[in-house]
Amino acid sequence: MQITFAGAAREVTGSCHILRINGKTVLLDCGMFQGRRSEAGQKNRELPLPVEQIDAVVLSHAHIDHSGRLPLLTARGYRGPIYCTPATRDLCAIMLADSAHIQEQDARFLTRRKQQVAAPLYGMRDATMALDRMISLAYDTPFDVVPGVRATFVDAGHILGSASVVLDCTENGVTKRIVFSGDVGRRGLPIIRDPQPPHGADVVLLESTYGNRDHPTVAGARDELARIITETAKRGGKVLVPAFAVGRTQELVYDLHILVRDGQIPLIPIYVDSPLAIDATTVYAMHPEVFDPSEDLVHRVQDLFHYSQISYTREASESKALNTRHGPMVIIAASGMMEAGRILHHLAHNASDPRNTILVVGFQAEHTLGRRIVDRSPTIKVLNEEMPLRAQVEVLGSYSAHGDRQELQSWVDAVRAGNGERGAPEVYLVHGEPDAQDAFAGQLRGAGYGRVHTPERNATVTL
């Protein structure tokens, strides 16, 4: 029984781990790498192993850094099952199609620029084939992955349909429980339910994105959002929110709905300027069965995502028109790390105006435009043009969908509690940059976890 850490090892993106057992091979996620474009592009064209050696894939959730190379698998001939939750499958239907569209667009651009044919990483047909391989199973429903491996999805509380994966693995008469955390969410996030830690484990593959820091409380996020919008509106500025189309956008739309209803922000226009986010919001509305029943607004209104101040701008012409409009407004646009998408055009028109605010509500990986803006670089390059960064920059860490170090500690402690006298599980930290992982590894060791590892990419361990 072996695990190879093929992605999101000593880095945040490219989630992919290989489980080998009983002569079979299972991938846990197969996500895209993000960061320096040349480096990420090279990594994304590599599969962790030949497709004929892969027997099954288990997908934790739909974010592209976890699912984005699935169409590459099918493009290379993979025809095995891809297990996920129903909401994850529905989100992948739009997200993988969007990713394929981006790959095809990039290939056309490079072909024109270099005057030689550039092949896309994959195309729309490959995304459709990946979707055809998906088998959706509800939370808390055990299923057989390969001989000797029985899996169960439990709610990770990260985005709609996100799951931690419990893998009960039997080989040569020995059974071990491996828990793959996926991305662990936070307690009290809007719309979705709180994370549900699995009960006991021998081995835990644990995300560590925020392993070296604490978030502001979720309870204060809405008040901070109201403050930023109110202050920017008084200056006559725009609030630009680069947000991940899936998860973060819907949480913001939900909280803005509450603020509008309660009269806590000025009645200014709110635009969701992302076709993918619009489609994702539709998927969210399709899955009320996984909403948090304790949320007040869930009971108070019939439609969480439509109200008087909000508009959804699907067409490119509608998006461009926003840049000619004056006066206070909120524009929520993808992409979350500001590496692509409509947010770039809004930044190009507005980042140099000190009346405006760039509101960052998610993790910004190294070497991305988003990280440079968070670091308040005096100049930034947007759409190949250098410009001064004069807009206000606000960071709301409380909107992170990843648990911070204390929330991750509480989650793994709850897993450990299920072990009883067996004590602490062996922990492998994944999905985190080195500083975060090293700090969190020290914290776990201080809390009595004697076997904590931070594996490098492509490292293999025998259980």
Q: Which residues pair with 386 in a beta bridge?
A: 381
- Residue with token string 């502001």: 216
Q: What is the pLDDT of residue 37?
A: 75
Provide, rounded to the nearest whole percent, the portion of the chain with pLDDT above 90. Answer: 83
- φ, ψ (nearest 5 deg) of residue 353: -100, 115
> What's the whole-number mean pLDDT along residues 36-41?
82
* Cα dist from 78 to 45, 130, 139, 317, whole Å: 15, 9, 26, 39
pLDDT tens figures, 138-190: 999 999 999 999 999 999 999 999 999 999 999 999 999 999 999 999 998 88
| DSSP symbol at 402 | S
Fold of 218-399: Rossmann fold (3.40.50)
Average pLDDT for residues 309-323, to the nearest whole number? 95
Phi, psi of 346 (to 5 degrees): -70, -35
* Identity of the amino acid at 87: A
Give the chain's mean pLDDT. 94
Is the Cβ–Cβ distance between 60 and 66 less than 8 Å? yes
Model confidence pLDDT, tens digit, residues 239-290: 999 988 899 899 999 999 999 999 999 999 999 999 999 999 999 999 999 9
Decide which of 10 and 399 is more confident. Answer: 10
Q: Which residues contact 302 (CB under 8 A, 6 or more apart)?
A: none
pTM, full prediction:
0.90
Query: What pLDDT does residue 111 have?
Result: 83
> Is the confidence at residue 80, as pLDDT, over 80?
yes
Which homologous superfamily is 2-213+401-462 in? Ribonuclease Z/Hydroxyacylglutathione hydrolase-like (3.60.15.10)
Sequence-separated (6 or more) residues with CB below 8 Å from residue 314? 275, 278
Domain ranges for the chain, please list them.
Answer: 2-213+401-462, 218-399
